[in-house]
Structures are given as C-alpha cells and as structure tokens.
Amino acid sequence: MPVEVTWWGHATATVRDSGVTVLTDPLLVRRMAHLRRRRGALPPVSATLADVVLVSHLHADHLHVGSLTRLPPGTRVVVPRGAPRAVPGLRRLGTLLDLVEVVPGDVVRTGPVRVCAVPAAHDGRRLPYGTHRAPALGYVVEGEARTYFAGDTGLFDGMADAVGTVDVALLPVGGWGPYLGDGHLDAGGAAQALTRISPRCAVPVHYGTYWPIGMDAIRPHEFHSPGDEFARLAAQLTPHVRVHRLRHGETARLETSV
C-alpha cells in the first residue's frame, strides 16, 4: 500500500499513512543561531497540521522550541522522556500542546497508526546548555506500512532487531556543518544501515539545508553531495532498495507492497 513522504529539509518530513499525518523534527525557520537555511523554501503553514509530531532528541535543530510554537494548540507531540525537564521552553509549551514522553519500546497510538519509539546512538543532552539528558530516539510509524524515521543516529549493534522489518526508511546522510561527529550517519554509514534494516524504499534526509554562516567555502561538498553519494552507494550495496532523493518540498508516493 502507498505511503506518502514529503521532505521539507533537514530532518523535517511529513509521513502520511492510513489517513494519519505525521510530522518529524519540525524546523520551520530560516535561521537558527549560527545556521542559515541555504536551500529550499520554508515549509508552508499547512506543514504544521499534523495528527502527531515526533521529536527525536534534544538538540536544537531537532527540538526547536520556536518551531513547535507554530503548531496548532492541542497537537500531540511525542518527545523523549525527560525533555520537558531539560528544556524550559518546551515545559512552558506543555499547556498548549499534548506532550507525550517516551523511551525505547513505548508505543503511542494515533487513530489506526502506532508509533513505536526505538533506540538511537546519539548524544541525548541539550547542548550546550546543560547536563540534563533524555534518550535520543528513532521512531517506527506502523500503519499500512512500517516507516522508520531514524532521527540522528550512528550505526549500533542490534539496529536491525531494534527497528525490525520496515518498508520505508528516512535516514540522515549528512549534517549542518563541514564535519560530522560521533553518533551520526554520513552517506556511507547510511548505506551500511540499509544492509542491516533492508527496507524496500529509502529517503535521505538531514543534509543540504542549513549551513553555518560564513562557512560557505569550507568543505562545500559536505553540503551538496550527501544525497547523491548515498544513492550511489546504496545502489552498490543494496540494489533491491529503491532510493528516492527528494527535492525540498517534494512528495514521493511510495508503493511498499510487493
């Protein structure tokens, strides 16, 4: 059955399955701290209309309080357990939004869709503001298909068992700066992840959107090329996986049935 995925840029995407709209890691601003959006129009207001919003971890480019304030009152927002304690701005939003705190293994139901929290290998702190920690998560959206949103993660032992069989994988393939630290996937790492989880379709995300101000000339290939490099490596390692390299704002209708 078909699943629709729209990539808005960075880790922000909309997944539509079984009549349910899921929004991931909303980052809806042109500038965040030292980062500037260099490619793609901002997501339209309609992108904020979701049945459930998934926040993968506390880093400000994933849990962006200013973007969450743009959600309609009452929107259900799934966050790592401890996130409101660690992020005062999120705690204040708790009176307007339906915050649901989860850890790996927890399940949140929205209509006919189940959202399952799964582990991620990533720093869970709200850097650089303090030591409060919450687990970094990925999510599997289960409706007519199973769609894995990895958030930010590195490869980790037991990844295949934790994620399970999936039809669609939204995998990070880059970042917002010239260098990636531990707990991230580059194009090669994301292609390796495909060999572990073996989805039918994959969509590269988390690249080619934001870049530090004043650093346009430093390793620009890390901004421009990760999507194409991921598609090239995936074709070599997992030719059975269909890679959909979306432009900003583009929607793919993914037929996941055999």
Instruction: Tell which wins on pLDDT, 257 or 230.
Output: 230
pLDDT in tens, 195-206: 999 999 999 999
Instruction: Identify the residue whose tokens are 């988390």.
Output: 206
pLDDT in tens, 13-64: 999 999 999 999 999 999 998 999 999 999 999 999 999 999 999 999 999 9
User: What angle do helix axes 226-237 and 187-197 make, rounded to 10 degrees?
Assistant: 40
pLDDT in tens, 180-197: 888 899 999 999 999 999
Round to whole Å and give the CA distance between 232 and 187: 9
Q: Residue range 59-87: average pLDDT?
A: 96
Instruction: Tell which wins on pLDDT, 112 or 216.
Output: 112
Is residue 193 within 8 A of residue 232, CB to CB? The reply is: no
Computed over every residue of the chain, the mean pLDDT equals: 94
pLDDT value at 258 more than 50: no
Question: What pLDDT, on a 0 to 100 scale, did the predictor assign at position 130?
Answer: 58
pLDDT in tens, 156-178: 999 999 999 999 999 999 999 88
Q: Residue range 207-233: average pLDDT?
A: 93
Query: What is the reported pTM?
Result: 0.95
pLDDT value at 151 more than 60: yes
Question: What pLDDT, on a 0 to 100 scale, did the predictor assign at position 132?
Answer: 62
Q: Which two tokens stand for residue 221?
A: 């290939």
pLDDT value at 133 more than 80: no
Round to whole Å and give the CA distance between 174 and 185: 7
Peptide bond between residue 128 and the one before it cis (omega within 30 degrees of 0): yes
Banded model confidence at residue 66, pLDDT cuts 50, 70, 90: very high
Banded model confidence at residue 257, pLDDT cuts 50, 70, 90: low
Round to whole Å and give the CA distance between 57 and 146: 21
Banded model confidence at residue 238, pLDDT cuts 50, 70, 90: very high
pLDDT in tens, 95-131: 999 999 999 999 999 999 999 999 999 887 776 555 5
Banded model confidence at residue 216, pLDDT cuts 50, 70, 90: confident
pLDDT value at 11 more than 70: yes
